[in-house]
Amino acid sequence: MDGVEVDLGSLSCADVRPILQGETKQEQEERILRAVEFLVQGLFTLPEQSSERKSQRELPEPFSVIPRAKPIPKEKPLTKWEQFARIRGIRKRKRDKFAWDETRGEFRPIHGYRSINDESDQVILPHDPSLQPGESPFDRVKEGKRNRVKNNRKSQERNKRSIAKDQLSSRPVRTDKYKSKDLEKSAKIASISTRSLGKYGDRNKPRQKLSSIKASHKKNIIPSGAERERTFQAVNDVLKNF
Amino acid sequence: MRNLTEEELRAVFEKLAKFIGKDIKALVEEPNEGYCFRLQKDRVYYVREVVSAAATHIARHNLASLGLCVGKFTHGGRFQVHITFITYLARFAKYKVWLKSQSEMSFLYGNNVLKGGVARLTENTPKNQQVVVLNQNEIPLGFGVTARSSLELQQASSTDLIVLNQADIGSYLRDEDHFVGCGL
């Protein structure tokens, strides 16, 4: 329509006529208003599906192609459990988040912090015959939790690694392309690093900064005043012997 | 890239003085006041201070050359003047040799100068003197060292060596790869 592209599907209108050199702000605003008018007109041409209470029209399919801002996300490889569940045909069940805790008399979350199975705030624990003499059941509870957390983290790491392995297998990694300068730099960094990332170690010993190696070379350029003196001195020394 | 130490400066000026004599002062005085000497990878460069300040921004590994290459320090610590400094040498040289047009090409190929090729020689040139070799049009062709003094020249036969070729501008073509690779 007259230099105005209206895409009802995406509710957009665009004035595609070229922008002239001496166009004022008012003229530009007029163009925008005109384009919007066309959009609204177009909307009212759509087939009505109104009822008494509401006015409704169905928008057609949009035809303008809007490019993606980011690339299409890659499909994440399945974790070990997801693979297993898929094979076995295990489907996710919708579960509740909270459950009634009779003993405490309140709703508690099923998993995680303050969960219904959380025994860390127990004051009295029932006696377990498998306990060794001297072993505290409270310590056992704590240890159990620690182990669970640790195992959970391990599985996460394992999953990450196996995912990374799958992704890398399609592209060969060129480890032979290290430049000697990169290796030198790595060696320098290694020579001043500590295992604890600087947390422990000889605090009194001043740590050698990587930049100090470079700084010593910069000092070799002396200021021009002193340098000129030196040059004159050398010339005079030589001319003395002439 | 760095300044030259006192010893290095002395070595350079001593060598240059063999060509130029007392005029080595002219290299550091007006109108050449803005020029300085810089050392990069055993090569000495004669460069304007402004340019050398700009060159400090280039990593040493990547800096091929700056200004004019005067010469280089050998492993043994001796300083050799390179052909690239010929313009300044010719400007201030004390002792010059002018070649006949026929022997120009011979010299540019790296050959030594024979008596038959000498058109003119500065008066009282001693033996073993650093000289600048020019052609009839006063274009500097290179430099060398005299094998015979100007007095001996008269008694010499036409095939006797007069000037030993140390450097000539023909090497820009002969040693093209060398120049491009090591950044003269």
Q: Which pLDDT band holds residue B127 (cuts at 50, 70, 90)?
A: very high
Q: Which of B81, B94, B93, B142 shows the shortest CA–CA distance to B117?
A: B142
In a domain, A231, yes or no: yes
Assess whether B81 and B119 both reside in one domain.
no
Q: Which of B40, B46, B29, B30 shows the shortest CA–CA distance to B2?
A: B40
Assess whether B117 and B165 both reside in one domain.
yes
In a domain, A55, yes or no: no
- Which residues of chain B have a CB within 8 Å of the CB of A227? 3, 36
In a domain, B182, yes or no: no
What is the C-alpha separation between A154 and A149, in angstroms, rounded? Answer: 9
Assess whether A105 and A132 both reside in one domain.
no
A141, A167, A193 - which closes a domain: A167
Determine the average pLDDT of the residues in A20-38. Answer: 90
Closest partner residue to A221 (CB to CB) among B3, B6, B21 is B3
Assess whether B77 and B99 both reside in one domain.
no
Mutate to test the interface with A, among B2, B6, B8, B9 (most CBs of A within 10 A): B9
Q: Which pLDDT band holds residue A30 (cuts at 50, 70, 90)?
A: very high
Task: Please say whether the beta carbons of A231 and B3 come within 8 A.
Answer: no
In a domain, A99, yes or no: yes
Can you give the pLDDT at residue A202? 64
Assess whether B100 and B169 both reside in one domain.
yes
Assess whether A120 and A150 both reside in one domain.
no
B57, B88, B119 - which closes a domain: B88
Lowest mean pLDDT among A58-62, A108-112, A218-222: A218-222
Determine the average pLDDT of the residues in A101-112. Answer: 87
In a domain, A152, yes or no: yes
Say how many C-beta atoms besides its own lie within 10 A of residue B134's C-beta: 22
- Which residues of chain B have a CB within 8 Å of the CB of A231? 9, 28, 36-37
B88, B109, B138 - which closes a domain: B88
Assess whether A117 and A139 both reside in one domain.
no
What are the residue ranges of helices labelled H in chain A? Answer: 25-45, 80-88, 137-168, 180-192, 211-218, 224-240
Q: What is the pLDDT of residues B26-73, one digit of tens each?
A: 888 877 788 999 999 889 999 998 898 888 888 888 888 899 999 999
> What domain range includes position A12?
4-49
Question: Structural domain tally of chain B?
Answer: 2
In a domain, B181, yes or no: no
Burial of A154 (0-12, 13-18, 19+ CB in 10 A): exposed
Assess whether B78 and B12 both reside in one domain.
yes
**Chain A interface residues facing chain B, Cβ-Cβ under 8 Å?**
181, 217, 220-222, 224, 227-228, 230-235, 237-239, 242
In a domain, B184, yes or no: no
Residue B172 has pLDDT above 60, yes or no: yes
Greater confidence, B13 or A80?
A: B13
> What domain range includes position B148?
95-173
In a domain, A174, yes or no: no
Greater confidence, A141 or A220?
A: A141
Can you give the pLDDT at residue A122? 77
A145, A167, A189 - which closes a domain: A167
Residue A240's closest chain B neighbor by CA?
B22
Residue A151 has pLDDT above 90, yes or no: yes
Residue A61 has pLDDT above 50, yes or no: yes
- Which residues of chain B have a CB within 8 Å of the CB of A222? 3
Can you give the pLDDT at residue A173? 46
Assess whether B101 and B83 both reside in one domain.
no
A85: CB partners within 8 A, 6+ apart: A91
Residue B81 has pLDDT above 50, yes or no: yes
Rounded to two decimals, the pTM is: 0.49
Residue A99 has pLDDT above 70, yes or no: yes
Assess whether A100 and A132 both reside in one domain.
no
Determine the average pLDDT of the residues in A59-82. Answer: 86
Question: Structural domain tally of chain A?
Answer: 4
In a domain, A176, yes or no: no
Residue B99 has pLDDT above 90, yes or no: yes
Assess whether A132 and A147 both reside in one domain.
yes
Determine the average pLDDT of the residues in A34-43. Answer: 93
Assess whether B20 and B75 both reside in one domain.
yes
- Strands B130-134, B96-99: parallel, antiparallel or unpaired by DSSP? parallel
Assess whether A163 and A185 both reside in one domain.
no
Greater confidence, B132 or B28?
A: B132
| CATH label of the domain that carries residue B39 | 3.10.450.220
Assess whether B71 and B99 both reside in one domain.
no
A138, A167, A196 - which closes a domain: A167
Closest partner residue to B2 (CB to CB) among A220, A230, A235 is A220
Assess whether A195 and A230 both reside in one domain.
yes
Question: How far away is chain A from the Cα of B115, in angstroms, using its nearest Cα?
Answer: 29
Assess whether A207 and A159 both reside in one domain.
no
Question: How far away is chain B from the Cα of A239, in angstroms, using its nearest Cα?
Answer: 7
What is the C-alpha separation between A148 and A61, in angstroms, rounded? Answer: 51
Residue B11 has pLDDT above 90, yes or no: yes
Can you give the pLDDT at residue A171? 45
Can you give the pLDDT at residue A53? 79
Can you give the pLDDT at residue A169? 47
Assess whether A119 and A154 both reside in one domain.
no
Assess whether B160 and B102 both reside in one domain.
yes
Q: Percent of chain A scored above 70 by pLDDT? A: 80
Assess whether B110 and B140 both reside in one domain.
yes
Say how many C-beta atoms besides its own lie within 10 A of residue B67's C-beta: 19
Assess whether B13 and B70 both reside in one domain.
yes
In a domain, B178, yes or no: no
Assess whether A189 and A207 both reside in one domain.
yes
- Which residues of chain A have a CB within 8 Å of the CB of B10? 234, 237-238
Q: What is the pLDDT of residues A171-217, one digit of tens each?
A: 444 556 666 677 677 777 777 677 776 667 665 555 555 555 455 55
B88, B120, B146 - which closes a domain: B88
Can you give the pLDDT at residue A179? 66
Residue B126 has pLDDT above 90, yes or no: yes
B141: CB partners within 8 A, 6+ apart: B99, B104, B107, B108, B133, B134, B135, B168, B169
Assess whether B9 and B81 both reside in one domain.
yes
In a domain, A116, yes or no: yes
Can you give the pLDDT at residue A198? 65
